[in-house]
């Protein structure tokens, strides 16, 4: 008989996030109500733990090499309603309630442009009012 031991927060059906093999994992933030995909950022284990403990989305900045909480300076916090994990455990999906907009440019979503150059959304805040 083969015995498997899983951490208490997992069922046998859920893969552990693949931090060891993958390093940082991408986390997609999706608006839980509208379904809009808001942004993609990266998480390490600590960022995921902070997200679960506080209910607010945390990420790891590859450029600044530090943990950050979304909205810490802007106030545009993401309240995380659920976290999904994909079939092979190497991508996370944060379902969030977004305060203000997710994008530092003033749009609700960072995906406000098509690759052909069409702007497909309206600005909902003035970045100059939010970011110093």
Contacts (Cβ under 8 Å, ≥6 apart) of 122: 107
- Residue 115 to residue 132: CA distance in whole angstroms: 29
Least gap, CB of 96 to a copy of itself (angstroms): 12
Q: By CB under 8 A, is residue 40 in contact with a copy of itself?
A: yes
Site for a copy of itself in 43-102 (CB under 8 A): 52, 82-88, 91-93
Cβ nearer to a copy of itself, comparing 77 with 109: 109
11 binds a copy of itself (CB under 8 A): yes
HEC secondary structure over 31-42: ECCCCCEEEEEE
Q: Does 34 bind a copy of itself (CB under 8 A)?
A: yes
Which helix (H) or strand (E) segment holds residue 66: the answer is strand 66-69
Integer angstrom CA distances of residue 70 from 12, 43, 105, 123: 31, 12, 14, 19
Radius of gyration over every alpha carbon of the chain, rounded to an integer in angstroms: 16
Q: Which is nearer to a copy of itself, 35 or 75 (CB)?
A: 35
Q: Per CB under 8 A, does 110 bind a copy of itself?
A: yes
Binding footprint of a copy of itself on the chain (CB under 8 A): 9-11, 13-14, 17, 26, 28, 30, 34-37, 39-40, 52, 82-88, 91-93, 103-105, 107, 110-117, 119-120
């Amino acid at each position: 008989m083969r015995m498997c031991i899983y951490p208490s927060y997992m069922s046998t059906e859920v893969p552990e996030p693949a931090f060891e093999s993958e390093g940082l994992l991408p986390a997609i933030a999706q608006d839980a109500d509208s379904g809009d995909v808001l942004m993609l950022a990266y998480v390490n284990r600590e960022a995921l733990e902070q997200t679960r403990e506080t209910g607010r989305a945390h990420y790891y900045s590859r450029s600044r090499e530090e943990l950050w909480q979304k909205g810490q300076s802007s106030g545009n916090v993401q309240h995380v309603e659920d976290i999904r994990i994909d079939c092979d455990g190497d991508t996370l999906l944060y379902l969030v309630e977004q305060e203000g907009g997710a994008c530092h440019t003033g749009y609700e979503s960072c995906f406000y442009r098509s690759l052909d150059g069409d702007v497909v959304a309206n600005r909902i805040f003035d970045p100059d009012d939010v970011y110093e």
